[in-house]
């Protein structure tokens, strides 16, 4: 496998799949350029080593072809500000101009292609099918798109001499630019620094953790986390389960959970997790007490209740003080920590206390030498809200991709480079 460190980029054009899916405000200005900043080291490395760069990405979820609000043109000033190099633009990633500009690139130059998802071929999902389309019509549309997707991938590949995938956030998708294109570069494909960093951090946790290894899984539902729970049970010593899923477990065990979020169709799944954990010698920690509110709002009346004995009309919105202490103790004694999902409704300050306690305990353990990985959608928002992102070992940028990797699924974007 090639590496960006050792590959000779002299005089070569590198096409880099970056994740420039940044949030924009109404004026189409970037409100958070974390993803652009993350991609800069990879781009700079290629330029420093005598290559030129073609950047490709998606932005948002355009469903009907080009739309100004999804144009990557809007973020050019944001890229130039961070990169310190002028960025040229090809307003149609399949257009003649794209091919010409790519061919004319000189070492040190950068070309950005327009949003790949202006073409259905990027994702390979047919668009514009009638709501009452028959299965045959759907299959025919899919077949036609697969055929044109081949041309799409081939054309993108024709712009460059080598391919770099640096978009971990989309690595769980077998899209044209994240996986299929790699086939055209059997000896000239590699990960960028974002991908390398993510994979190193996650593999360290999943494959070779210092023990005890504790995973804290929160979030709202058991159903969306069950595959992660099952895969992690094979690896961890301690599994802390928090957030809304607490109440499915408590109810499955015969508790009263008031109006807390509760998936009654997941009771068997929950009981099975507890049974398996016992068989596998994994310590499971569930909340003992809960901060309950009688409405789903920040300034609702609250009371602390046993998490399995919540009065009617009240719902568990955060872990209680006893639980905060118990969870923090387990975390303090851990050498590897993985946190996915807040343990309460952290978006409301009054119910962010439990998640803050988890974050503080992780920071303290990290200071004592533990390796801590935070990732998967809301946990990142949570650690950022507390301003503690730089006090843990690694914050993953990949929401869905990280979750699938943790489920043990081989990510197409990773496999395409490794194979």
Q: Which residues bind ligand AMP (CB under 6 A)?
A: 218-221, 224, 243-244, 261, 316-317, 341-342, 344-347, 377-378
Burial class (CB in 10 A: 0-12, 13-18, 19+), 371: buried
Identity of the residue, 236 or 345, whose beta carbon is nearer to ligand AMP in the bound complex: 345
Query: Smallest distance from the beta carbon of 299 to ligand AMP, in angstroms?
Result: 16
Residue 416, φ and ψ in degrees, nearest 5: -65, -30
SS3 at position 338: strand
Query: Smallest distance from the beta carbon of 60 to ligand AMP, in angstroms?
Result: 20
- Give the whole-angstrom CA distance, residue 121 versus residue 137: 18
- Give the CB-side neighbour count of residue 232, counting CA atoms within 13 A: 31
The residues facing 240 across adjacent strands are 216, 285
Return the residue nearest ligand AMP (CB atom): 219
**For this structure, is 128 an active site residue?**
no
Q: Which of 221, 256, 322, 391 is catalytic?
A: 221
Q: Which of 256, 377, 391, 408 is catalytic?
A: 377
Q: Helix 353-367 crosses helix 378-385 at what angle (to 10 degrees)?
A: 80
Identity of the residue, 42 or 323, whose beta carbon is nearer to ligand AMP in the bound complex: 323
DSSP state of 12: P
- Give the whole-angstrom CA distance, residue 366 versus residue 48: 34
Identity of the residue, 209 or 258, whose beta carbon is nearer to ligand AMP in the bound complex: 258
**For this structure, is 313 an active site residue?**
no
Q: Which of 12, 13, 17, 35 is catalytic?
A: 35
Query: Smallest distance from the beta carbon of 248 to ligand AMP, in angstroms?
Result: 11
- Give the whole-angstrom CA distance, residue 264 versus residue 160: 53
**For this structure, is 221 an active site residue?**
yes
Q: Which of 60, 95, 108, 400 is catalytic?
A: 400
Identity of the residue, 111 or 270, whose beta carbon is nearer to ligand AMP in the bound complex: 270
- From residue 288, how far is each of 250, 327, 339, 346 by CA, in Å? 10, 10, 19, 19
- Give the whole-angstrom CA distance, residue 232 versus residue 284: 12
Contact between 166 and 194 (Cβ < 8 Å): yes
Query: Smallest distance from the beta carbon of 69 to ligand AMP, in angstroms?
Result: 25
The residues facing 339 across adjacent strands are 216, 374
Tokens of 191: 């990960």
Identity of the residue, 90 or 319, whose beta carbon is nearer to ligand AMP in the bound complex: 319
Tokens of 110: 């950068």
Query: Smallest distance from the beta carbon of 346 to ligand AMP, in angstroms?
Result: 6
Identity of the residue, 159 or 346, whose beta carbon is nearer to ligand AMP in the bound complex: 346
- Give the whole-angstrom CA distance, residue 299 versus residue 320: 17
- Give the whole-angstrom CA distance, residue 346 versus residue 330: 21
Query: Smallest distance from the beta carbon of 267 to ligand AMP, in angstroms?
Result: 17
**For this structure, is 408 an active site residue?**
no
Sheet harboring 283-286: ordered strands across?
283-286, 238-241, 213-217, 336-340, 371-374, 394-395
Query: Smallest distance from the beta carbon of 285 to ligand AMP, in angstroms?
Result: 15
Are β-strands 256-257 and 309-310 bridged in parallel, bridged antiparallel, or unpaired? Answer: parallel
Tokens of 202: 């996650």
Provide the annotated active-site residues. 35, 221, 377, 400
């Amino acid at each position: 496998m090639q590496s960006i460190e050792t590959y000779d980029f002299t005089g070569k054009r590198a096409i880099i799949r970056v994740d420039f899916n940044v949030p924009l405000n109404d004026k189409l200005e970037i409100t958070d350029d974390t993803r652009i900043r993350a991609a800069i080291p990879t781009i700079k490395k290629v330029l420093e080593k005598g290559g030129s760069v073609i950047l490709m990405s998606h932005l948002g979820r355009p469903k009907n072809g080009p739309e100004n609000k999804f144009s990557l043109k809007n973020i050019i000033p944001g890229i130039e500000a961070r990169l310190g190099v002028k960025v040229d633009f090809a307003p149609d990633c399949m257009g003649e101009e794209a091919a010409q500009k790519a061919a004319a690139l000189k070492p040190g130059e950068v070309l950005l292609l327009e949003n790949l998802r202006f073409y259905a071929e990027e994702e390979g999902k047919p668009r514009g099918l009638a709501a009452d389309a028959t299965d045959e019509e759907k299959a025919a549309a899919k077949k036609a798109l697969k055929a044109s997707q081949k041309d799409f991938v081939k054309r993108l590949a024709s712009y460059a001499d080598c391919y770099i995938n640096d978009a971990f956030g989309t690595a769980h998708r077998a899209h044209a630019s994240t996986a299929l294109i790699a086939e055209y570069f059997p000896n000239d494909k590699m990960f960028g620094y974002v991908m390398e960093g993510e994979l190193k951090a996650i593999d360290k946790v999943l494959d070779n953790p210092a023990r005890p290894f504790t995973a804290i899984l929160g979030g709202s539902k058991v159903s969306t986390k069950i595959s992660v729970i099952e895969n992690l049970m094979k690896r961890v010593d301690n599994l802390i389960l928090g957030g809304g899923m607490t109440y499915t477990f408590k109810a499955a065990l015969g508790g009263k959970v008031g109006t807390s979020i509760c998936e009654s169709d997941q009771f068997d799944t929950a009981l099975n997790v507890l049974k398996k954990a016992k068989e596998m010698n994994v310590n499971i920690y569930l909340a003992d007490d809960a901060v309950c509110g009688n409405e789903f709002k920040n300034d609702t009346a609250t009371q602390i209740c046993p998490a399995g004995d919540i009065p009617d009309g009240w719902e568990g919105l955060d872990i209680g003080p006893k639980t905060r202490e118990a969870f923090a103790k387990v975390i303090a004694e851990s050498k590897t920590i993985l946190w996915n999902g807040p343990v309460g409704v952290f978006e409301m300050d009054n119910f962010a206390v439990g998640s803050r306690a988890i974050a503080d305990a992780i920071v303290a353990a990290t200071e004592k030498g533990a390796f801590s990985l935070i990732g998967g959608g809301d946990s990142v928002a949570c650690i950022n809200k507390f301003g503690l992102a730089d006090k843990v070992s690694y914050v993953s940028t990949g929401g869905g991709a990280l979750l699938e990797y943790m489920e043990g699924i081989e990510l197409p974007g990773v496999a395409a480079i490794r194979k």
